């Protein structure tokens, strides 16, 4: 269904008309009137409205086509890849519609899908993609803006083309490497461990999709896979006398992530993983110590067109590309990355399909990953694994394909499976609101609980104020800047919204007042000692990235901002900083990829389409030891019951092909 939980209000469908012929003129007038109503009530953005009007100016566009064009544009702004016309009555468009008076909102009715589909099929501005038109309508009733139809089609084609066996794999050598880096699981060692399967997929296929929740060891697994592949490449580059035949790196590796902060975390995790392995100096040197954003690796915008430097004609110089936090990558960016890979290059995608999707259009990892397919293997893949390890997964597919590229990691090392956080996370994943309540309110777990937003202590202090002061006191009372930064990452307040009573902006101001009243800070100016900062825009010159956290510290008579860098602490003048904000509280979206000892999740007083199962799951799984959820029961119930469903044809293109 083309339902988006980030927006509010529903357009209901009109009752079926008697016949297309008798109702054609009234339907057209109703459509024209509706477009103007949606615009006047603020349901459409200026971009949506004027895009539709520009199509009308081309000529030959009936009112239904213009109306659908506006909704297709609105759908993209809300994160959909397309507009699902078969469920247009369920489409949610904008928060502003909830503010429309009941009588006026009753007038906002969509024409029946049959009228819209018929009009689009007859329109010269719409096609099935076989000719160049601004709108594309597929056989399933999904309406695309032409650009997004092209991106989706090309991404599906690129993924399927890469979901094939890698050439020239020495199976005996692969088996030796897997035995070194992973031990068999199960009694007698008859079953392959998840790590062995992941290593086999990454070595045997040109595409590997490794999916798992927080703390399941995705990065640790990839480090071992990299070591395995580098060792194999080194063996291939040795001469007959045992010496290296080339001085260059045996395998060109790129570590990528969607944001600068995620790239830093990836590089740090890889470094930690390498420190635990016994490797030769040549293997260790061949695995990169740095990671980059996808945008930076592709070369940024090129001129007014915004094209990247690396593309099909100028591919990335890499034999293996690893992309972390794929759930945060949008459709367009992933398509651009795949178009810049050499045909023979390997691609490893890492992510958690249950986390929040990208801010831009698409829910890529959810479309690529199929739970049933992840438990299936082709006979060809199983035979190659058997030849390498002496053991093999059960084969249930006759033909090799994308299913051979999927691996799921289940066991979390961030928190125990039977912990309150672990049980709460699983209940949220399943959409089981009552089970989530049982964990939050039974008190038996001890590491997670629900609290009413306005709850107070016996002394009259807000519980959130008490928890926030307790959570931030350790970093505020520490003296050493490095220790301060480390302690700052032990606790965080997470919010669903930026604005409003329970939003980031007001909560940051409230926490400042609470800490000042407790004598822990003195917020006398814009920059004050112990103010935590979150960078909101990349600055490649300074090496600061969106999501980096710093802290204002006193350096003699001056105030400077301290950041943790690859080679230790960095101190910068406040005047040099790129755009930033205070970060006692942050949005759940901004917290993706981070982890804290304790988290306080503050949700609005009333259910909101912004609050979904994915948002609550992402927030809860940021915590290692303790979670407090400040929210009414009905808000949690609504959130856990609501899953984000973004309209897209990518899953069908991949799995029905």
- Residue 157, pLDDT score: 94
pLDDT of 326 over the 70 cut = yes
Rounded Cα–Cα distance for residues 152 and 266 (Å): 27
Confidence of residue 415 (pLDDT cuts 50, 70, 90): low
Structure tokens at 145: 């803006």
Structure tokens at 225: 């896979």
pLDDT, tens digit, for every residue of 506-565? 999 999 999 999 999 898 888 999 999 999 887 878 878 788 889 999 988 899 999 987
pTM for the model stands at 0.82
Q: Which residues have a Cβ under 8 Å from the Cβ of 138 and sit 6 or more positions away?
A: 82, 128, 129, 144, 149, 649
DSSP assignment letter at 363: -
In what order do the strands lie in the sheet containing 532-535?
A: 568-572, 558-565, 549-555, 532-535, 580-582
The rounded Cα 489 to chain-centroid distance in angstroms is: 21
> Average pLDDT, whole number, for the chain?
81
Mean pLDDT of 483-492: 92
More confident residue, 127 or 173: 127
- Residue 301, pLDDT score: 53
pLDDT of 442 over the 70 cut = yes
Structure tokens at 244: 């290296």
More confident residue, 48 or 303: 48
- Residue 60, pLDDT score: 67
- Residue 299, pLDDT score: 83
- Residue 598, pLDDT score: 93
Mean pLDDT of 490-501: 91
- Residue 581, pLDDT score: 93
Bridge pairing between strands 253-257 and 320-323: parallel
pLDDT of 623 over the 80 cut = yes
Rounded Cα–Cα distance for residues 136 and 631 (Å): 43
- Residue 455, pLDDT score: 79
Structure tokens at 7: 């927006």
Rounded Cα–Cα distance for residues 455 and 461 (Å): 9
- Residue 9, pLDDT score: 31
- Residue 196, pLDDT score: 82
Rounded Cα–Cα distance for residues 55 and 134 (Å): 8
- Residue 600, pLDDT score: 94
More confident residue, 556 or 59: 556
pLDDT of 489 over the 60 cut = yes
Confidence of residue 443 (pLDDT cuts 50, 70, 90): low
pLDDT of 575 over the 80 cut = yes
Q: Which three-class secondary structure string do you get for 241-296?
A: CCCECCCCCCCCEEEEECCHHHHHHHHHHHHHHHHCCCCCHHHHHHCCCCCEEHHH
Contact (CB, 8 A) for 200 and 396:
no
- Residue 24, pLDDT score: 42
The rounded Cα 416 to chain-centroid distance in angstroms is: 24
pLDDT, tens digit, for every residue of 124-167? 888 998 888 999 999 889 999 999 999 999 999 999 999 999 88
- Residue 513, pLDDT score: 94
Q: Which residues have a Cβ under 8 Å from the Cβ of 49 and sit 6 or more positions away?
A: 35, 38, 39, 70
Structure tokens at 459: 């002394």
Confidence of residue 179 (pLDDT cuts 50, 70, 90): confident
Rounded Cα–Cα distance for residues 414 and 411 (Å): 9
Percent of the chain with pLDDT over 90: 25
- Residue 26, pLDDT score: 45
More confident residue, 655 or 416: 655
Confidence of residue 643 (pLDDT cuts 50, 70, 90): confident
State the DSSP H helix or E strand holding residue 73, giving kind and residue range, or none if neither.
Answer: helix 63-77
More confident residue, 362 or 301: 362
Mean pLDDT of 265-292: 86
Structure tokens at 420: 């309150």
User: How deeply is 81 buried, as exposed, middle or buried, from its count of CB atoms within 10 A (0-12, 13-18, 19+)?
Assistant: buried
More confident residue, 551 or 234: 551
Q: Which of 196, 282, 193 is nearest to 233 (CA)?
A: 282
Contact (CB, 8 A) for 230 and 175:
no
pLDDT, tens digit, for every residue of 206-221? 999 998 877 777 888 8
- Residue 209, pLDDT score: 93
pLDDT of 25 over the 50 cut = no
Confidence of residue 185 (pLDDT cuts 50, 70, 90): very low
Mean pLDDT of 383-396: 84
Mean pLDDT of 86-90: 68
DSSP assignment letter at 16: P
Bridge pairing between strands 406-409 and 207-212: parallel
Structure tokens at 414: 């961030």
pLDDT of 23 over the 50 cut = no
Mean pLDDT of 383-405: 85
Structure tokens at 65: 């086509």
Confidence of residue 363 (pLDDT cuts 50, 70, 90): confident
State the DSSP H helix or E strand holding residue 201, giving kind and residue range, or none if neither.
Answer: helix 194-204
More confident residue, 77 or 102: 77
- Residue 13, pLDDT score: 32
9-13, 220-224, 547-551, 644-648, range with the lowest pLDDT: 9-13
pLDDT, tens digit, for every residue of 109-124? 667 788 888 888 988 8
The rounded Cα 232 to chain-centroid distance in angstroms is: 32
Q: How far apart are the first and last CA of the chain?
A: 20
Q: Is 615 helix (H, G, I), strand (E, B) or coil?
A: helix
Rounded Cα–Cα distance for residues 80 and 649 (Å): 10
């Amino acid at each position: 269904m083309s339902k988006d939980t980030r927006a509010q209000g529903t357009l209901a469908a009109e009752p079926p008309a008697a016949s297309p012929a008798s109702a054609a003129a009234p339907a057209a007038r109703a459509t024209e009137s509706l477009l103007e109503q949606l615009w006047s009530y603020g349901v459409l953005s200026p971009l949506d409205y004027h895009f539709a009007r520009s199509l009308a100016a081309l000529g030959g566009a009936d009112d239904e086509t213009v109306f659908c064009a506006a909704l297709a544009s609105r759908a993209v702004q809300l994160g959909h890849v397309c507009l699902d016309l078969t469920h247009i009555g369920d489409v949610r468009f904008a928060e502003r519609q909830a503010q429309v008076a009941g009588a006026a909102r009753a007038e906002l009715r969509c024409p029946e899908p049959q009228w819209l589909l018929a009009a689009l099929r007859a329109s010269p501005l719409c096609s099935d993609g076989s000719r160049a038109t601004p709108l594309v309508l597929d056989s399933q009733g999904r309406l695309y803006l032409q650009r997004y139809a092209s991106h989706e089609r090309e991404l599906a084609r690129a993924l399927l083309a890469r979901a094939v066996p890698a050439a020239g794999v020495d199976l005996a050598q692969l088996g030796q490497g897997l035995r070194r880096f992973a031990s068999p699981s199960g009694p007698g060692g008859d079953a392959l461990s998840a790590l062995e399967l992941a290593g086999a997929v990454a070595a045997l296929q040109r595409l590997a999709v490794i999916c798992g929740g927080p703390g399941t060891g995705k990065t640790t697994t990839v480090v071992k896979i990299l070591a395995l592949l580098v060792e194999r490449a080194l063996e291939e580059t040795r001469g007959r006398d045992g010496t290296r035949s080339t001085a260059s790196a045996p395998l060109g590796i790129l570590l990528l992530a969607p944001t600068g902060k995620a790239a830093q975390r990836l590089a740090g995790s890889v470094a930690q993983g390498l420190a635990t392995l016994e490797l030769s100096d040549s293997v260790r040197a061949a695995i990169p110590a740095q990671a980059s954003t996808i945008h930076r690796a592709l070369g940024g915008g090129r001129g007014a067109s915004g094209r990247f430097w690396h593309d099909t004609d100028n591919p990335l110089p890499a034999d293996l590309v690893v992309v972390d936090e794929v759930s945060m990558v949008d459709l367009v960016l992933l398509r651009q990355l795949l178009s810049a890979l050499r045909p023979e290059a390997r691609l490893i995608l890492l992510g958690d399909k249950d986390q929040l999707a990208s801010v831009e259009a698409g829910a890529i990892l959810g479309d690529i990953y199929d739970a049933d397919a992840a438990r299936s293997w082709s006979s060809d893949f199983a035979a190659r694994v058997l030849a390498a390890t002496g053991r093999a997964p059960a084969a249930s597919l006759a033909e090799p394909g994308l299913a051979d590229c999927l691996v799921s990691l289940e066991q979390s090392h961030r928190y125990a499976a039977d912990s309150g956080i672990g049980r709460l996370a699983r209940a949220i994943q399943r959409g089981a609101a009552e089970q989530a309540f049982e964990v939050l309110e039974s008190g038996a777990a001890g590491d997670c609980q629900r609290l009413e937003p306005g709850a107070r202590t016996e002394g009259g202090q807000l519980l959130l104020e008490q928890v926030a002061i307790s959570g931030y006191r350790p970093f505020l009372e520490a003296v050493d800047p490095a220790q301060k930064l480390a302690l700052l990452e032990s606790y965080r307040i997470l919010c669903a919204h930026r604005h409003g009573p329970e939003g980031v902006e007001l909560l940051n101001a409230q926490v400042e007042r609470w800490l000042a009243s407790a004598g822990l800070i003195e917020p006398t100016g814009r920059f004050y000692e112990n103010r935590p900062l979150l960078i909101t825009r990349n600055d490649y010159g300074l090496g600061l990235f969106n999501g980096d956290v710093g802290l204002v510290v006193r350096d003699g008579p001056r105030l400077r901002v301290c950041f943790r860098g690859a080679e230790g602490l960095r101190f910068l003048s406040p005047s040099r900083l790129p755009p930033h904000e205070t970060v006692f509280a942050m949005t759940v979206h901004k917290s993706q990829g981070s982890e804290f000892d304790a988290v306080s999740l503050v949700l609005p007083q009333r259910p909101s389409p912004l609050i979904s199962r994915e948002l609550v799951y992402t927030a809860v799984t940021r915590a290692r030891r303790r979670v407090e959820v400040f929210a009414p029961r009905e808000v949690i119930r609504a959130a856990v019951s609501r899953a984000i469903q973004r309209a897209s044809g990518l899953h069908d293109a991949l799995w029905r092909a």
